[in-house]
Every structure is written in structure tokens, then in C-alpha cells.
Amino acid sequence: MTTASEWTPGEAAAKDPHDRPERPWWQGAVFYQIYPRSFLDTDGDGVGDLEGIRRRLPYLARLGVEALWISPFYRSPMADYGYDVADHCDVDPLFGVLDDARELVRDAHEHGLRVVVDYVPNHTSDQHEWFIDARSSRTSAHRDWYVWAGDDPAAPPNGWMSFFSGGPAWTWDAATGQWYLHLFLPEQPDLDWRNRDVVDAMHDVLRFWLDMGVDGFRIDVAFLVGKDVPLRADAPRPAPSPYTHEVLRGVRRLLDDYPRDRVSIGEIYIMSTRAVAEFYGRNDELHLNFNFPPLYAAFEEPAWRACIDNVVDALDPIGAWPTWVLSNHDNPRHRTRYGSADKARAAALLLLGLRGTPFLYAGEELGLSDAVVPPERRADPVGRDGCRAPIPWEAGPGHGWPVDDPWLPWPPEAPAAHAAAQEADPASSLHLYRAALAARRRSPALRHGDFRWLEAPPGVLAFARGSGADQVDVVVNMTGGEVRFPGAYELLVASAPGQAEWRGVLGAWSAAWLAPRPARGRRRRP
Ligand code: NOJ
């Protein structure tokens, strides 16, 4: 295994004096997810592109994140906005050309930013040449690259339901007289990873991007890639099968064989942290896995305490490193879910204060809410448009985009709180995120220190993070009133706009990072 210290193309990541060489970089890094359609358009088609991301690299480096996860930009008919891949090794013309991807990876590294790309192994587009061939005849070369079953047009092979339509996860192919499986849209047929040729071809996809220099993969639907055989119908969904774990071990071995530390991050859409823990294997499956219960938790102390306890209980004993996420392209933004800018700001210090790797979703640093999308402008088949609204960079009407009216409407904050306005306002959400990311970067305690609960008043989460001499207490007031939290502290970062000093009191819906002051008479830590 190689480590962060051996990776030196960029200043920010390379010069961190606190990165312990024995730790892989992805344990200390903060990730930033980019949904490329919505980040920044440069060619005037109203859809973001790779060049748009490249132009914002200085902004991202300054923000202080350390790795980007870019949602799919591969060739696709866009039935699921890129999660229906028609060519894994080419860039869709909407987003640019392959050289744009190459340049983006190179320039990101020069800015000290690592790049993780999306890997969609569960299914392809129905327009992928593999599937076009597969459905051409029962004896075609790629037929058994997909999951075909049953020959009665009146009876799907089992009761599995599509995540998207609510109907059967099977579509009848009249021409060849069989059903094919699609856990998502009919335009997203499931690959059959039991077929060695599929394994080889999909491993080649990993190699293609690794050779281009990417630093890892976010793995779509990682928990269901290996299908349950025989196709058991005792539940509406397939269960994660032992074969899924074997597939993931294969991916891990491939990454481990590459020079430099490359990371795998599994999308595990199971609402049990114990179940999520299984996808770390015995440190021979995925390096990191998304754990979504906190994404669905209300901004309430008991709910969050339970989520955190579950992570400590399920992951610590097996030495698995947690992840934390509040917002992504599949769910309402946390600013919208919580319905309050104060709560959203406090949640940022919670997210970035926990032990594990945090994932931010582009626009979260601006405190964006979901756009209100009128019915005639809805694009996504399952209604996820609001959180995918374009990022407003400057004053309107185009907010820094070359068109005034991009593919989705602007979020409500666009007129007053676009990025340029926040840049000029020291009390803005953008400045809060920058301050927190800078403080986190300087603090070994926050990057990878221990976690310990502290006594706190009802409705308040308080925990200590520590690494050697570096100690930070994180306090989050999840109540609508002031609470006292006495102690000799120096204020590192406060979520309340404009708060510069610590007076032992947390305002309603607010959070603070506090450095314990040494006891009187003892020398202060440098
Ligand atoms: C999870 C992705 O995050 C989501 O956007 C997509 O629709 C499904 N997987 C299917 O690929």
C-alpha cells in the first residue's frame, strides 16, 4: 500500500504536516461531490460540463476540500442522467471529450485535489453495445452478460420490484421471448457478474480510469451487484448475496495492485449500519461505504445520537473507517430537509466534526436549498430534480452560466446568495465552510482523532475528538433555545454568523468547535 506522503502533485494535499504517513489519504480528506450537469456550463447548452469543473478548481482548492467525486459523465442516453452508461470509457458529448477528462484529472491534481469517478457496475444503458447485442438473439455473444429468465410473457420470473417504477423489475423482450432484469429503469438492464467475461470487461473499465490517474471510484449500487442465484422471490428486492462480496473483493484486489492509494467507496442503500459494515469485509472489500441513516435523520439530538452510536458500535470493532453525508444528488438537500439556515450551518460543523470521512455535495457550502421545479420542467423519472438545481456562481440572470435558464430552475438562494455575494460576506455559509475546512485540516484530532461522548444538556450533542496533544470538543445545540456549555475554551469555529468569542453559551440551533484551554499555571500548547 502506498500512502499520502508518496503523492505529491499538488500543494494542498502534499504539504499537510499532520498527515501521518501510515494513514491512507482518504481517511483525512473531505470529499466534494459534483453533479456535472449542474455545476457550470461553458458551452452554452444549459448543461454543466467538464470544462466547467476545471474552471472552478481554484474555487474548490480555496474552499479547502481535498477530493472530488464526480457523478457519471460517460456516454449515455440520459434516461437516468448518466447512471445509464452506454460507453464506460468515453465522455458524453454533453460534457466534453475524453481529453477534457484527462485534463481535469491532471489539473485537479495540480490544485491538490484528488479525483474519484463514479463506477456503475450493476447495470448498463439499454443502448450499450453489449445489451444491443444481448437482445439481438438468444445465442448472441453478449446474451448472458445480462440476467435473462422466464419464458411466460404473463409471469415475470419472480416478484422483484424496480426501485424506480414500483412495478416489476423485469421487462419482457418479445423478440427473443424472455424477461430481462432491471432493478432500476427498463433502460438500465442489470449485468450478470456471474459471467467471467463481464468481470473482465468491467475490470478493464476500472483499469482505463486508473491508468488515466483517477484516485478511486464511488461504486453505484455496490450492495447488489452479485445477484441471488437462483433468483429467489421471497422479497421485493434481491438480498445482498455472498457473490456480491466476492465481486467487491475482486474490485479491491485490482485497486490494491495499482500504485498509489486508490479508494473504493460503496453506495450501500441499506438503512442499517450493521449491514453497511459488511461491505468493508475483513478489510478486503471496499475502503469506505456510505451509511445513509444520518442522511434521513431529523435534526434532533436523540436521532443523531443513535446514528453515531450505531456507527461506533458497528464499525469501530472491525476497524472500519466511517463516512458521513448530509446531502447528495438523490435526496433533498439538508438545508431543505431541516427547513432552517441555522440548522444547516450547525449540521456542517457536526458533519465535519465527526470521526470519519465527510462528503459534501456541491452547493452545500453555499447553504443552498432545493429548487422548486414546476411540473412541466421536471426531468428526473423519480422526482429528484430539486437537489440537482444548477449552482449560482454570480449575480443573475445567468448566475455565471452562459445561458439565463439552464436545464433546471435556479435554487431559491440564487438572487441574493450566489457564490460571489457570499464571497463578499464574511458571515456567509461559504466563509463558514472555508473556516471549518481550514481548521479541520490543521487539526489531527478532527482529521483522524479518537471520538468520545461528553456530558451535555438535553437536546445537545457534545463529543471530544483527540489526537495526542490536539483536542477539539464539538458541541451542537439541537434545540430552539440557548444552552449553557461552560468550560475553559478557545473558540475555533462557530456556526452562528459573526460569533468570534466563546462565552459558554450556544445559541438556538448552533454548533461550535472548541479547543480546551490548558489548566491555569500549565504552559499553553503551542
Ligand atoms: C444510485 C445513484 O446515486 C442514482 O442517482 C441512480 O439513479 C441509481 N443508483 C441507479 O444507478
What is the per-residue burial (b if ≥16 Cβ within 10 Å, else e) of 25-40? bbbbbbbbbbbbbbbb
- How close is the Cα of 72 to the center of ligand 1, in Å? 10
Kindly report the CATH number that applies to the domain delimited by 129-181: 3.90.400.10
Our answer on whether the CB atom of 224 is closer than 6 Å to any ligand 1 atom is no
- How close is the Cα of 286 to the center of ligand 1, in Å? 18
- How close is the Cα of 83 to the center of ligand 1, in Å? 6
What DSSP designation does 377 have? G
Q: What is the pLDDT of residue 5?
A: 32
- How close is the Cα of 163 to the center of ligand 1, in Å? 10
Non-local CB neighbours of 376 within 8 Å, separated by 6+ positions: none
3-state secondary structure of 329: coil
Q: What is the pLDDT of residue 520?
A: 55
Q: Where is 463: in which H helix or E strand?
A: strand 460-467
pLDDT tens for each residue of the chain, 526 residues long: 333 333 333 333 434 444 456 799 999 999 999 999 999 999 999 999 999 999 999 999 999 999 999 999 999 999 999 999 999 999 999 999 999 999 999 999 999 999 999 999 999 999 999 999 999 999 999 999 999 999 999 999 999 999 998 899 999 999 999 999 999 999 999 999 999 999 999 999 999 999 999 999 999 999 999 988 778 767 888 888 999 999 999 999 999 999 999 999 999 999 999 999 999 999 999 999 999 999 999 999 999 999 999 999 999 999 999 999 999 999 999 999 999 999 999 999 999 999 999 999 999 999 999 999 999 999 998 999 999 999 999 999 999 999 999 999 999 999 999 999 999 999 999 999 999 999 999 999 999 999 999 999 999 999 999 999 999 999 999 999 999 999 999 999 999 998 889 999 999 999 999 999 976 544 444 3
Question: What residues act catalytically?
Answer: 220, 267
Our answer on whether the CB atom of 221 is closer than 6 Å to any ligand 1 atom is yes
- Cβ proximity of 378 and 391 under 8 Å: no
- Cβ proximity of 507 and 492 under 8 Å: no
pTM, two decimals, is 0.95
Domain with CATH 2.60.40.1180 in the chain: 450-516
Q: What is the pLDDT of residue 511?
A: 98
Q: What's at 474, amino acid-wise? A: V
Taking CA atoms only, the protein residue closest to ligand 1 atom 1 is 220
Q: What is the pLDDT of residue 21?
A: 60
Our answer on whether the CB atom of 80 is closer than 6 Å to any ligand 1 atom is yes
Q: What is the pLDDT of residue 3?
A: 36
Distance of alpha carbon 412 from alpha carbon 526, whole angstroms:
44
Indicate the burial class of 494 (C-beta count within 10 angstroms; 0-12, 13-18, 19 or more).
buried
Our answer on whether the CB atom of 220 is closer than 6 Å to any ligand 1 atom is yes
Cα-Cα end-to-end distance for the chain = 33
Domain with CATH 3.90.400.10 in the chain: 129-181
Q: What is the pLDDT of residue 165?
A: 82
Q: What is the pLDDT of residue 519?
A: 65
Non-local CB neighbours of 117 within 8 Å, separated by 6+ positions: 69, 70, 72, 209, 214, 217, 218
List beta partners, residue 181. 170
Kindly report the CATH number that applies to the domain delimited by 450-516: 2.60.40.1180
- How close is the Cα of 436 to the center of ligand 1, in Å? 30
C-alpha cell at 123: 447495470
Taking CA atoms only, the protein residue closest to ligand 1 atom 10 is 83
Non-local CB neighbours of 267 within 8 Å, separated by 6+ positions: 218, 219, 220, 221, 222, 223, 290
Taking CA atoms only, the protein residue closest to ligand 1 atom 11 is 83
Distance of alpha carbon 170 from alpha carbon 158, whole angstroms:
9
Counting ligand 1 atoms within 8 A of each CB, the residue from 119, 221, 361 with the most, and so the one to mutate, is: 221
- Helices and strands (DSSP H and E) totals, the chain: 17, 20
Our answer on whether the CB atom of 118 is closer than 6 Å to any ligand 1 atom is no
Grid cell 421545479 in the structure block, residue: 373
Helix intervals (H) in 118-263? 129-134, 196-212, 242-256
Question: How far from 176 is each of 86, 157, 189, CA to CA, in Å?
Answer: 22, 15, 15
Question: How far from 96 is each of 67, 74, 156, CA to CA, in Å?
Answer: 21, 10, 40
